[in-house]
Amino acid sequence: MNSAVKELGELVGREYKEGFVTDIEADTLPPGLDESVIRFLSGKKSEPDFVLQWRLDAFRRWQAMEPPDWAHVKHAPIDFQAISYYSAPKRDEDRPKSLDEVDPKLLETYNKLGIPLEEQKALAGVAVDAVFDSVSVATTFKDKLAEAGVIFCPLSEAMANHPELVREYLGSVVPQSDNFYAALNSAVFTEGSFVYVPKGVRCPMELSTYFRINALNTGQFERTLIIADEGSYVSYLEGCTAPMRDENQLHAAVVELVAFKDAKIKYSTVQNWYPGDEEGRGGIYNFVTKRGACRGDNAKISWTQVETGSAITWKYPSVLLEGNHSTGEFYSVALTNNCQQADTGTKMVHIGEHTSSTIISKGISAGRGQNAYRGLVKVLKGAKQARNYSQCDSLLMGDRCGAHTFPYVEVKNPTATIEHEATTSKIGEDQLFYCRQRGLSEEDAVSMIVNGFCKEVFRELPMEFAVEAQKLLGISLEGAVG
């Protein structure tokens, strides 16, 4: 990912100089949410009226909804009126001039991850590149993509330039009132990406973007929409490294994927938001709705996620298998250390005939971390010869953490083949000792064993991402043993 991001940084930097974002004033809305806030958000981007109406509709629905209480997570109620729903990037003079002005702890993490200096600057908000706050600056490699006919831009830009596509697909996979947080997002989303890959086009590069939360007390509500037309292919990477922070922050994103006949979408995430300190103070609440629809025959959607950050993760990337012979995949590593809580998994809904899905979930719990896998495999009546294979493995480190598995299966067609395997193991003293006897430090031994446990997921990640993910696991588990 590094080289891609560097290129991104360069490109964004250039665009900035060209005045791409210079007209944005640094302003922040006071906390609170009502219709006027939504009108402000919409007006800020000069959105088409149908978007404003869509937002207002979502807001009205959201007001009638209750936050979900079924997840295996605990947190104090969130005061949605205490959150500010808009924060623009800081102006240059308010940003660090160099890495010397950046929190050394953050830099230490970057160094451990092996992030090059230039990229560190971008991540830490030095200079003028990279995504900042709610305003997305990132649209990359425009020329190459344009040549291929691929549209990759901020969602706001798509609303202005491709309103017909946005109107057709926005909310077509995750309806406004799908769930509490999706409804909130639909009302107040600010930025995110839009991708359209035309028929028969293989997107010439991995698309990547960084999302970061930066302004204090500002929730971040991205919305991403990816459409792969017939026979096309796209691989999208999403990764983040959040700065140290002391207040709980809400992050409620929505991602919608649409894959038509013979199209393939590969969506990879490395999530490393600030997890809170050892006592569980601070940290991001990551309540995300991700869903893809295989709308045509032979379509394929593959989710890969490595979730190491956030105080609370609530996330179920799902696939609606509508087309015959369509395929859904979910590969997940979720790690909870200290007081982190994760309730994550997937939903595979088999609608078409001969649809197949694969679920590989690896949960790692350390410290007092609580890790739940929650998955639904649903085979509808018409889904002849559907197949699912699920494997959920949990690894426990120490005896104060928890692993929980909630697999739900609903089969309405008797020709379905459903396989489910689950294991729970403790990281073995004998494995650790074996590695140390061969000369590895205890931390390296833990890192090696845990990475081995996650191998089936990591090999689904693009190469550079896999390297970063492995390092991230090691860092996230520091202090978990010994």
State the residues that interact with another protein by CB under 8 A: 428-431, 433-442, 444, 448-449, 451-456
The rounded distance, in Å, linking the Cα atoms of 267 and 257 is: 9
Instruction: Give the DSSP letter string of 127-195.
Output: TT-S-BTTB------HHHHHHHT-EEEEHHHHHHH-HHHHHHHTTSSS-TTSSHHHHHHHHH----EEE
Q: How far is the CB of 384 from another protein (least distance, A)?
A: 35
Coil vs helix vs strand at 287: strand
Between 233 and 389, whose beta carbon lies closer to another protein? 389
Residue 440 Cβ vs another protein, minimum distance, rounded to whole Å: 5
Q: Please state, in angstroms and rounded to a whole number, the distance separating the CA atoms of residues 391 and 388.
A: 10
Closest separation in Å from C-beta 110 to another protein: 24
Closer to another protein by Cβ: residue 83 or 449: 449
Nearer to another protein, 3 or 441 (CB): 441
Q: What is the spatial distance between Cα 258 and Cα 355, in angstroms, rounded to a whole number? A: 16
Task: Return the amino acid letter for 205.
Answer: M
For residue 385, which amino acid is it? Q
We find the least distance from the C-beta atom of residue 441 to another protein, in angstroms, to be 5
For residue 443, the minimal CB distance to another protein (Å) is 10
Task: State which residue, 49 or 430, has the beta carbon closest to another protein.
Answer: 430
CA distance 86 to 221: 10
* Least distance from another protein to the Cβ atom of residue 448, Å: 6
Nearer to another protein, 315 or 362 (CB): 362
Residue ranges with strand state E in 211-277 = 223-228, 233-241, 249-251, 254-259, 264-272
Q: At what angle do helices 104-113 and 117-124 cross, to 10 degrees?
A: 140
Looking at beta carbons only, is 279 or 429 nearer to another protein?
429
Minimum distance from residue 450 beta carbon to another protein (Å): 9
Q: Two tokens at 158?
A: 């798509």
Least Å distance, CB 127 to another protein, is: 35
> Residues 346, 317: contact at Cβ < 8 Å?
yes
> In the complex, what is the shortest distance from the CB of residue 431 to another protein, in angstroms, rounded to a whole number?
5
> Cα–Cα distance between 100 and 456 in angstroms, integer?
39
Tell me which residue of 299, 163, 146 sits closest to 225, measured CA to CA.
Answer: 163
- For another protein, the closer of residues 410 and 442 by Cβ is 442
| Nearest-angstrom CA–CA distance, 382 and 413 | 7
Choose between 353 and 393: whose C-beta lies nearer to another protein: 393
- Residue 337, classed as helix, strand or coil, is coil
Q: How far is the CB of 112 from another protein (least distance, A)?
A: 17
Contact 240, 250 (CB under 8 A): no
What is the Cα–Cα distance from 415 to 166, expressed in whole angstroms?
38
Output 180 or 465, the one with its CB closest to another protein.
465
Question: What end-to-end distance do the CA atoms of the chain give, in Å?
Answer: 32
Cβ closer to another protein: 43 or 428?
428
